[in-house]
């Protein structure tokens, strides 16, 4: 007698019971330390202690290391901020092997500050990845520089060094590296290219605090790096960012750009001293610093849980057909920020977006990555940023047409529009038990792929240019 093979459970997308009903936890892992720090700020009524005007010791404040600044001068207001801000900066500098850390109100303003401190200006080209959050590219526009996008390497998901070489022109002045999803970019190759062409290198480490490249923390490999404290990141403070550097000149300029720097130079200041020191207010509040100060002390423990969860889920999904997880996502020093997988829709006969819809219906938060490549934002395709006349692109004669076309980024375009499946919640306090629910949902969907054939989900528009 032949035993009947049980049909796979009905997909939640078509009325079945979901694999998980409980939401996954976000990355905010708080305890008494955050409360203690915040109450200290509230009890002291010290919501901000920045002063935007010069004082007799201003040059000392601009040049001292973050370790020296912690207990410097008990005065109420300082150009470099209050006690919690300075304590956070000292912790960041120590944690990432830098002499200086400069806290700002977001990683976006941190990138703008770092690029400004490197004296980038109108018409200068800055090479960066085509695959990141918009802030990476938009920060380049702050001082009227021009973003030039490169494709990614299919394994690291970070900038392809060979495409960097192809995109260099006489106007290229810097490379803005992004360590995406906790994976380190190929910094040896990138630094070699930068040295050959006398280019500056800035690291965007928003998704990678704690990732180590060949023994060195990312953010400390190039002369200047930027981290994020936004609510979805590894160090959570709601908003905020921190710049790290061991270069005293860069630190001084960052401190000025952060805090109404134009009020500091005297009438004899040189053009070099004045360059890019304009009136921004990128200051961090004491409340934000209080939360972040407690959070950074949990970074190693929380990062470890990310990798434990990511490895567990990857192991449980390893034998699913049509699904692949790139190596190195939680090894070789990488810290998994988001677990990125690739799905072979052409072989399976079911679209990636149909699979995403089915997994989401099972209660598992997945996505296809960013909704579009950065260069496909209308700001870049239409070259409209500041005013109506196409500034900054219209202001400078380029030796080549500055075009942003999908076909220039074939690897990233294929991944983001056809193949990527990102699982977002490998973060603590989620555990392998939560990952088991995710694994069960994936298995349920992949055992029901035939039911998804021809299914066309409605959802976010795929942008075509």
pLDDT tens for each residue of 446-460: 999 999 999 988 765
DSSP code of residue 418:
I
Convert the pLDDT of each residue in 369-398 to its tens digit: 999 999 999 999 999 999 999 999 988 765
Q: Which pLDDT band, with edges at 50, 70 and 90, does 399 fall under?
A: very low
Q: Which pLDDT band, with edges at 50, 70 and 90, does 465 fall under?
A: very low
Annotated active-site residue 443? The verdict is no
Convert the pLDDT of each residue in 301-342 to its tens digit: 999 999 999 999 999 999 999 999 988 888 889 999 999 999
Asked if 436 contacts 362 with a C-beta cutoff of 8 angstroms, the reply is no
The larger pLDDT score, comparing residue 209 to residue 5, is at 209
Convert the pLDDT of each residue in 6-28 to its tens digit: 667 899 999 999 999 999 999 99
Q: Which pLDDT band, with edges at 50, 70 and 90, does 1 fall under?
A: low
pLDDT for the residue 464:
40
How far apart (Å, rounded) are the C-alpha atoms in residues 241 and 105?
A: 6
Burial 362-391 (b: 16+ CB within 10 A, else e): bbbebbbbbebbbbbbebbeebeeeeeeeb
Instruction: State how far Cα 267 lies from the chain centre.
Output: 39
Q: State the pTM of this model.
A: 0.95
Segment 38-67 shows an average pLDDT of: 95
Question: Considering 84, 233, 298, 419, which one is annotated as catalytic?
Answer: 233
Of 132, 9, 29, 106, the closest CA to residue 425 belongs to 29
Which tokens belong to 307? Answer: 């990798």
How far apart (Å, rounded) are the C-alpha atoms in residues 273 and 59?
A: 13
The larger pLDDT score, comparing residue 34 to residue 328, is at 34
* Helix pair angle (286-296, 32-44), 10° resolution: 160
pLDDT for the residue 220:
97
pLDDT for the residue 106:
98
Q: Which pLDDT band, with edges at 50, 70 and 90, does 463 fall under?
A: very low
462 has a pLDDT exceeding 50? no
Of 387, 409, 370, the closest CA to residue 147 belongs to 409
Residues 6+ apart with CB under 8 A from 372: 416, 462, 463
User: To which residue do tokens 């490249």 refer?
Assistant: 213
Of 395, 415, 413, the closest CA to residue 125 belongs to 395
Of 249, 284, 305, 291, the closest CA to residue 430 belongs to 305
């Amino acid at each position: 007698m032949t035993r009947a093979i049980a049909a796979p459970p009905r997909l939640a997308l078509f009325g079945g019971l979901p694999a998980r009903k409980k939401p996954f936890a976000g990355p905010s892992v708080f305890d008494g330390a955050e409360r203690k720090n915040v109450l200290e700020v509230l009890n002291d009524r010290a919501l901000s202690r920045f002063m935007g005007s010069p004082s007799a010791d201003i040059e000392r404040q601009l040049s001292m290391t973050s370790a020296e600044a912690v207990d410097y001068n008990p005065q109420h207001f300082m150009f470099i901020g209050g006690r919690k801000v300075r304590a956070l900066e000292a912790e960041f500098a120590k944690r990432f092997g830098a002499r200086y850390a400069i806290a700002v109100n977001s990683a976006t303003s941190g990138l703008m500050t770092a690029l400004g401190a490197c004296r980038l200006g109108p018409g200068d080209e800055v090479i960066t990845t085509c695959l990141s959050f918009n802030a990476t590219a938009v920060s380049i526009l702050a001082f009227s520089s021009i973003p030039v996008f490169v494709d990614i390497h299919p394994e690291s998901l970070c900038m392809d060094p060979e495409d960097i070489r192809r995109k260099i022109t006489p106007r290229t002045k810097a490379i803005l590296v992004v360590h995406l999803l906790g994976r380190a970019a190929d910094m040896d190759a990138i630094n070699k290219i930068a040295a050959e062409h006398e280019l500056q290198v800035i690291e965007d480490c928003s998704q990678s605090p704690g990732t180590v490249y060949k023994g060195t923390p990312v953010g400390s490999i190039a002369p200047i790096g930027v981290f994020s404290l936004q609510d979805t990141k590894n160090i959570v403070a709601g908003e905020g960012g921190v710049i790290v550097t061991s270069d005293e000149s860069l630190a001084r300029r960052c401190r000025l750009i952060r805090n109404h720097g134009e009020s500091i130079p005297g009438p004899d200041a040189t053009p070099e001293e004045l360059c890019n020191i304009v009136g921004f207010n990128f200051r961090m509040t004491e409340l934000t610093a209080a939360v972040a100060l407690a959070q950074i002390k949990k970074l190693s423990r929380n990062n470890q849980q990310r990798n434990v969860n990511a490895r567990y889920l990857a192991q449980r999904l390893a034998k699913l057909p049509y699904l692949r997880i790139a190596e190195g996502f939680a090894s070789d020093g990488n810290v998994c920020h988001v677990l990125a997988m690739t799905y072979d829709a052409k072989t399976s006969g079911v679209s990636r977006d149909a699979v995403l819809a089915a997994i989401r219906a099972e209660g598992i938060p997945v996505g296809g990555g960013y909704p579009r490549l950065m260069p496909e934002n209308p700001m870049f395709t239409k070259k409209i940023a500041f005013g109506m006349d196409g500034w900054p692109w219209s202001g400078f004669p380029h030796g080549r047409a500055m075009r942003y076309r999908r076909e220039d980024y074939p690897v990233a375009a294929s991944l983001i529009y056809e193949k990527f499946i990102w699982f977002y919640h490998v973060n603590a306090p989620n555990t392998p038990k939560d990952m088991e629910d995710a694994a069960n949902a994936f298995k349920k969907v992949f055992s029901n792929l035939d039911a998804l054939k021809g299914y066309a989900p409605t959802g976010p528009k795929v942008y075509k240019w």
